């Protein structure tokens, strides 16, 4: 039986991987555990560990790490808490492999623990790249250099890993696991979605827009203005706006205050944390997703849902034609909304193919996790100058 450990610190990364985790938890060939930390354990951020437990995922431990100081230093201190608090737990469990996903600080911590303890690590969503200059980008690439294996979403991501000196044998294109939940989550009708998110009944008579904005340091001062402008335009056009809470990045406290203030408008509903099935169905019943969440880039195209990305975050990433990038001004946002409301845009959505995959990646990943010889990938002795990737 293979022992596999995964790390998760926030709702967003758990949702990306949840279908795989549930399958591994039910797999009799696998002793699977999840080490939970960060915002999952914070009541202020919805205590999302509840959703993990309800999914039946066995926990190795719950490590309280989050320093909610709304500062750059706080995020780094949170990472140091995770490192210090997890080393002995991981060492004692002695997994055959550690799964790490994405580009947050806990992923880098997981890769470091694996490297120094001699445990192979499998990195998901590596090789992606955004031109926004955010710290997540170099964290993602640094994690890839530490990781033993890479399960990537697209051939472009494989090529990028080759360019930074990773051996071809380590890289497997599986498609994005984030899309698999759209194949497995049961349908909830529109009225029930509205009721469960505490949206007013009159929202059922309006098209829905989802707005999720995560702060980056370069836009911390203007982010509230972006959100207020987008909400103003959407409400004027007759939409009911569902505002999702931001991640625990620096600047999130001020954004939450802005969202809570906007929630006083009957045309706007602010939700702090909802479970995966409810979120999937919120997207299914919506007419547009906006803000700067990766859900608009990775997942919305699978639902043929148009995306209006606001600001610098996500720029430069591989994206479907359904994604429109704007600078955050009300003028550009209005122009983008005009465009997606055109009948010709709706026609184009009918034949939209998500470049990140088809929603059937979990089976590919599980097969690899059981067939690969993990110890054979632990040592990274090959000189990058000797790697051919033509």
Q: What is the CATH number of the domain that holds 196?
A: 3.40.50.2000
Determine contact, residues 158/127, Cβ cutoff 8 Å.
Answer: yes
**Which residues on neighbouring strands pair with residue 244, listed in sequence order?**
212, 271
30 and 133 share a domain?
yes
pLDDT(130) > 90: no
Please check whether residue 387 lies inside any domain of the structure: no
100 and 211 share a domain?
no
8 and 105 share a domain?
yes
204 and 345 share a domain?
yes
- What is the rounded average pLDDT of the residues 217-243? 92
Closest CA to 293 of 377, 361, 193, 209: 209
Please check whether residue 131 lies inside any domain of the structure: yes
Please check whether residue 244 lies inside any domain of the structure: yes
148 and 202 share a domain?
no
Please check whether residue 235 lies inside any domain of the structure: yes
Please state, in angstroms and rounded to a whole number, the distance separating the CA atoms of residues 32 and 119.
Answer: 15
Q: Which two tokens stand for residue 65?
A: 């790490």
Predicted pLDDT at 237: 96
Closest CA to 288 of 232, 223, 341, 360: 341
Predicted pLDDT at 101: 96
- What is the rounded average pLDDT of the residues 118-143? 92
Please check whether residue 388 lies inside any domain of the structure: no
**pLDDT averaged over every residue in the chain:** 92
Determine contact, residues 357/341, Cβ cutoff 8 Å.
Answer: no
DSSP string, 268-307: EEEES---HHHHHHHHHT-SEEEES-HIIIIIGGGGT--E
**Which residues on neighbouring strands pair with residue 173, listed in sequence order?**
152
- What is the rounded average pLDDT of the residues 41-47? 82
Determine contact, residues 283/306, Cβ cutoff 8 Å.
Answer: no
Model confidence over 73-121: pLDDT tens digits?
888 899 999 999 999 999 999 999 999 999 888 999 999 999 999 999 9
174 and 229 share a domain?
no
Model confidence over 311-366: pLDDT tens digits?
999 998 999 999 999 999 999 999 999 999 999 999 999 999 999 999 999 999 99
Please check whether residue 384 lies inside any domain of the structure: no
224 and 158 share a domain?
no
- What is the rounded average pLDDT of the residues 185-190? 94
260 and 318 share a domain?
yes
Please state, in angstroms and rounded to a whole number, the distance separating the CA atoms of residues 96 and 5.
Answer: 8
Please check whether residue 55 lies inside any domain of the structure: yes
12 and 160 share a domain?
yes
Give the domain extent around 163: 2-180+359-379
143 and 239 share a domain?
no
Rounded to the nearest 5°, which phi and psi values hold at 258? Answer: -65, -45
Q: The whole model's pTM is what?
A: 0.88
**Domain count along the chain:** 2
Predicted pLDDT at 383: 87
Percent of the chain scoring above 70 in pLDDT = 98
Predicted pLDDT at 390: 59
Please check whether residue 389 lies inside any domain of the structure: no
- What is the rounded average pLDDT of the residues 51-59? 94
Tallying the residues shown for the chain, one arrives at 390
Determine contact, residues 63/88, Cβ cutoff 8 Å.
Answer: no
112 and 232 share a domain?
no
pLDDT(389) > 70: no
35 and 124 share a domain?
yes
């Amino acid at each position: 039986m293979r022992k596999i450990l995964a790390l998760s610190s926030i709702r967003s990364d758990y949702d990306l991987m949840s279908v795989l985790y549930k399958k591994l938890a039910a797999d009799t060939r696998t002793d699977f555990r999840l080490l939970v930390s960060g915002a999952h354990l914070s009541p202020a951020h919805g205590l999302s560990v509840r959703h993990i437990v309800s999914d039946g995922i066995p926990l190795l431990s719950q490590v309280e790490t989050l320093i909610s100081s709304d500062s750059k230093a706080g995020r780094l201190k949170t990472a140091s808490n995770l490192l210090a608090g997890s080393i002995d737990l991981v060492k004692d469990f002695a997994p055959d492999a550690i799964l790490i996903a994405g580009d947050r600080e806990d992923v880098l911590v997981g890769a470091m623990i694996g490297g120094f303890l001699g445990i192979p690590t499998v990195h998901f969503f590596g090789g992606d790249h955004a031109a926004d200059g955010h710290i997540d980008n170099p964290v993602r690439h640094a994690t890839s250099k530490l990781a033993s294996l890479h399960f990537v979403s697209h051939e472009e991501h494989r090529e990028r890993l080759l360019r930074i000196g990773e051996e071809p044998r380590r890289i497997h294109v599986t498609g994005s696991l984030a899309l698999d939940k759209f194949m497995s989550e049961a349908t909830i009708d529109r009225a029930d979605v509205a009721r469960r998110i505490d949206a007013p009944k009159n929202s059922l008579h309006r098209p829905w827009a989802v707005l999720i904005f995560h702060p980056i340091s370069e836009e911390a001062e203007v982010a509230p203005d972006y959100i207020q402008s987008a909400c103003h335009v959407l409400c004027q056009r007759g939409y009911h706006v569902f505002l999702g809470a931001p991640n625990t990045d620096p600047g999130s406290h001020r954004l939450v205050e802005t969202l809570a203030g906007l929630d006083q408008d009957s045309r706007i509903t602010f939700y702090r944390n909802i479970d995966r099935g409810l979120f999937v169905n919120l997207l299914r019943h919506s007419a547009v997703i906006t803000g700067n969440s990766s859900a608009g880039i990775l997942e919305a195209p699978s639902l043929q849902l148009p995306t209006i990305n606001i600001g610098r975050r996500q720029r430069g990433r591989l994206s479907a034609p359904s994604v429109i990038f704007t600078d955050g001004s009300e003028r550009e946002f209005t122009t983008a909304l005009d465009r997606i409301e055109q009948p010709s845009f709706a026609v184009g959505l009918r034949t939209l193919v998500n470049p990140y995959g088809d929603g059937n990646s979990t089976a590919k990943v599980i097969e690899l996790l059981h067939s690969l010889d993990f110890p054979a990938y632990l040592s990274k002795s090959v000189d990058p100058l000797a790697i051919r990737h033509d």
